[in-house]
Amino acid sequence: MSSQALKEWASICGFLTEGKLIALLRKGGLADQPGFFASADGGFWLHPTHFHEQRASLREGWPMPAQPFESEALKRSGEVPIPAFCRVTGSYQIQRLDTALRYAAISPYSDEVVTTRFNYRQPGIFLHTVRVYRASPILWVQDLPQWAGCKSFHEIDIDPREIPHQAVLDDPAYRREVLRIEEILQPTALV
């Protein structure tokens, strides 16, 4: 059974797998169709990448994750790490930049990155809360040429039902984080 993998900045993958982050701010890659996140209804694997990532893209003062999937360790013999499986628990369309920047203040995303993403193509951005399940051990898969480029999702031949994984945050801790985000986003439309 194949599933989806989300190409995401390696540092963001590190924050997610350490429980320091439970939400993704997304607009989509150049090759993505509108509504691309809807294709991940059953969940998705994290595929850390350094595509478009720069340290300046992260909020100053946020410590780098303990396992940032550094570029020299990101690939080994043509393989890439797949550290965790995620399930989308909520999707919010943010239509005001000030709301997006209020969320950015509690996240590792810099104001500049949030503003750029918000204004890309047309104003607005999506925030997706995700429940993260760390794979044990981290999986390594062959990096395929069709995964290259500016696209968010790709097919991957890993069945999450067959891979041991554990929730990064327990239920109460996860719910507290979701409520903190929802308080910031009010009034924002749930998608």
pLDDT, tens digit, 9 for 90 and up, residues 144-172: 888 887 778 888 998 888 888 899 999 99
Q: Confirm if 172 and 92 have CB atoms less than 8 A apart.
A: no
Q: Confirm if 91 and 143 have CB atoms less than 8 A apart.
A: no
Find the mean pLDDT for residues 20-37.
70
Q: What's the half-sphere exposure (Cβ side, CA atoms, 13 Å) at 112?
A: 7
- Tokens for 180, please give them: 């903190």
Q: Which of 98, 149, 132, 29 is nearest to 37 (CA)?
A: 29
Which residue segment(s) compose the domain that 48 sits in? 3-190
Cβ neighbours, 10 Å, residue 134: 19
Position 134 pLDDT exceeds 90? yes
pTM for the whole thing?
Answer: 0.87
Rounded to whole angstroms, the Cα distance separating 149 from 135 reads 25
Position 75 pLDDT exceeds 80? no
- Tokens for 119, please give them: 């204004």
Q: Confirm if 88 and 130 have CB atoms less than 8 A apart.
A: yes
Q: Are strands 3-9 and 44-49 parallel, antiparallel or unpaired?
A: parallel
**pLDDT band per the 50, 70, 90 thresholds, residue 2:** low
Domain count, the chain: 1
Q: Are strands 125-142 and 189-190 parallel, antiparallel or unpaired?
A: unpaired
pLDDT digits (tens, 9 = 90+) for 109-126: 999 999 998 998 889 999
